[in-house]
Structure 1
Amino acid sequence: MSFIKSVSVILATGVLVVLIRLVFRKAHSSSRQWPYQRQFLVLLVVLAGLFIAIALLPLEHEVKNQILSLLGILLSAVIALSSTTLVSNAMAGLMLRITHEFRGGDFIEVDTLVGRVTDLGIFHTEVQLVSRDVVSLPNLLLSQKAVKVTRRDGTFINLALSIGYMVSHQEVEKALLEAANRCKLTDSFVFVEAFLDNAIRYRLYGMLSESGERLSKTSELHKSVLDVFCEEGIEIASPALMDRREYDTAVQYFPKVGKNNQTSKEATTVEELVFDKADEAQFLEELKEVQTRLSKSLEELDAKQKKVVEEKNCQNRRGDRKAGGKTEGVLIAGGIRT
């Protein structure tokens, strides 16, 4: 009979939990607006019922306090262990918001994931992938990994391909630039990246003003390169062309020299186009150094000026003293001194 109160509290707690589940099952709209409200209410009701049931047990007051203290310690340990990740993600989320590395709508790349940011939460960041699926990344992961962010004011899209040694680099560069022009890319330039065993690897860069068109423009650029190279009769040896051709021993493997042997004017300004932000940072650092030098020079000039002024003041004082001594001597000689 002494356990009836505790048992009744436990039964009342179970009935209340069932009622909460039924209420939230009927109210679908509110459950969607507050997806975790039902879980929080059930947890609070269960914890409250458990503490009340323990408090109503027919035990000594000291025993009840020991049980409640043990239960509180267990709950504190569980919360402390589970909150480390939550706190870390929350702090990482605050750091990402303060630094403004990326925002909603930006293209980002993390490891092998490529997509656009759809939501910046406290604990996680939601990214929509190319497949239209949505992935949730913990903020702690984004703070520890290298995140590549596509700039909104324009980005260079690029592609790499290999062309055989029998084709001059002038012809290849001309064809690649033509493909970029057909895609309406600006400030295009070509890099000769490496000499492979059977081909030369080139990489084409083109400025895309609308970063939201990155995927479609990259595909369009690949198609344009295929079309232009087919029109020019240039074979693409990417990724590796395993072709056996018999040539006479007197044949030398030299490409035909192109008509235009001059390098493109864009090649001279590649660093200015690509590293504009880095150049700006360097310029600011140089300005800071100049400012520091000017400040030191001004301090030295001020010190010299103060020294000159002090010397002049000392000379004036000496002159005044000499002039005063002469006047006193004249007065004494004239018998005016009393």
Structure 2
Amino acid sequence: MTIWQNITDTMSLFVPMAITICIVGGVLWLAHVLLIKRHKDAGNERLFSRQLTMLVLTLVGVVAIALALPVSDSSRNQVIALIGLLISGIFAFSSSTIFSNIMAGTMLRVTHPFRTGDFIQVGDLFGRVVQRGLLDTELQTENRELVALPNTYLVSHPISVTRSSGCIVYTTLSLGYDVHHSEVETLLLQAAQNAKLTDPFVQVLELGNFAITYKVSGMLADVKSLLSARSNLRREVLDALHGQGVEVMSPSIMNQRKMPDESKVIPNYTPKQTASTSDTIAENVVFDKAEEAERREQSIAELQANIATCETSLKEASGEQKESLQAKLTALKEQLKALNDEPIKGEDAT
């Protein structure tokens, strides 16, 4: 009877732990079914928060089982401290792999530097974001390859994001000094327009020993056709130059021509009007958001100064003048609120 009583007492000590294990196991299984298994085809983008939830639930379950152990309070505290030490050790030894990628993925979600479907450039890799996962981010390159980049790599390297509101498409080429720059700029601007780019502009990048380096750029509204737009621009440049008899050769090609000793390689100059404002257009197109932000700040500063002046005058006014100032103050505040709520021109919605 005494032995049976001891066995019964011993088993009763493990009942709370067994119940806790069953509850924790059931909750984790149910959470896995509801959060992960039913949405296994959703992709890493939608599973990110669900995977984080499962991780937190698992850690909470381990702590709950530790609290239910049939041991003394001091031993239970030691077990909990041991679990904390193990978790800390996992974070320490895996800081450069799993958990660092989890933290980096969380940071990318908070800072939101890019979205799914955006074109991004990271190092030598250029592609479109397919999925943003718990541990890595998947890109599809120009060759249709799928590349998984660890989130720590994205956090530790600069990321260039192509804005969904539009981007600059450009190409560069070198031409000899025997063709005047005004003629070249006219042809390049026409090529950019034929490639269906808006606000085109041409820049002279370098005056080399044997050739001049030009850069033709234009705004592309539909960024989804970025690759085709780049190819179309190069094609139109070739057609425009070759159509007017302008040679497009590498500067390394040696082209010897017999010419009189007193002759000079200077093209016939014909004044052109098409390229006269290309530099102004370039600044307006490239820095449009900066210009808009500066304009907004100046307008907000002016409105705030007018509001402060109006409030000061209102304290000393009376009668009809006070009512007029009050109406003016209300109108100024409404303008300030509307200006603060107005999105910057070209800013992407989040």
- TM beyond 0.5: yes
Q: Distance in 1 between matches of 2:107 and 2:161?
A: 17
Q: 1:240 to 1:32 in 2, by over 3 A?
A: farther
1:19-98 map, 5 Å: 33=40, 72=83, 75-81=86-92, 82=94, 85-97=100-112
Structure 2, unmatched stretches of 5+, are 1-36, 45-50, 319-350
Identity, % of aligned positions: 33
Structure 1, unmatched stretches of 5+, are 1-29, 56-60, 307-338
Structure 1 residue 273 and structure 2 residue 285: aligned?
yes
> Cα RMSD (Å) of the superposition?
4.0
Task: Give the match for residue 171 of structure 1.
Answer: 183
TM-score normalized with structure 1 length: 0.64
Question: In structure 2, what residue type is equivalent to 1:209?
Answer: A
Question: In structure 2, what residue type is equivalent to 1:172?
Answer: V
Give the C-alpha shift of residue 197 in structure 1.
1.1
Structure 1 residue 203 and structure 2 residue 218: aligned?
no
Please list the CA deviations of residues 110-137 of structure 1 after superposition, one character each: whole Å capped at 9, or x if unmatched: 1211111112334432211111112223
Q: Distance in 1 between matches of 2:166 and 2:76?
A: 66
Bigger Cα Rg: 1
Q: Distance in 1 between matches of 2:274 and 2:240?
A: 21
Q: Distance in 1 between matches of 2:258 and 2:239?
A: 29
Q: Distance in 2 between matches of 1:136 and 1:276?
A: 34
Q: 1:243 to 1:228 in 2, by over 3 A?
A: same
Task: Give the match for residue 124 of structure 1.
Answer: 136
Q: Distance in 1 between matches of 2:199 and 2:76?
A: 76
Please list the CA deviations of residues 206-264 of structure 1 after superposition, one character each: whole Å capped at 9, or x if unmatched: 22221111111211221222222222121224454443444333112322213536634
Q: Distance in 2 between matches of 1:217 and 1:299?
A: 54
Q: 1:231 to 1:297 in 2, by over 3 A?
A: same
Structure 1 residue 217 and structure 2 residue 266: aligned?
no
Question: In structure 1, what residue type is equivalent to 2:231?
Answer: S
Q: Distance in 2 between matches of 1:303 and 1:238?
A: 75
Pick aligned residue for 1:111 from 101, 123, 132? 123
Secondary structure, in 3 states, of the residue corresponding to 2:174?
Answer: strand
Question: In structure 2, what residue type is equivalent to 1:279?
Answer: E
Q: Distance in 2 between matches of 1:219 and 1:164?
A: 23
Task: Give the match for residue 164 of structure 2.
Answer: 152
Q: 1:258 to 1:79 in 2, by over 3 A?
A: same
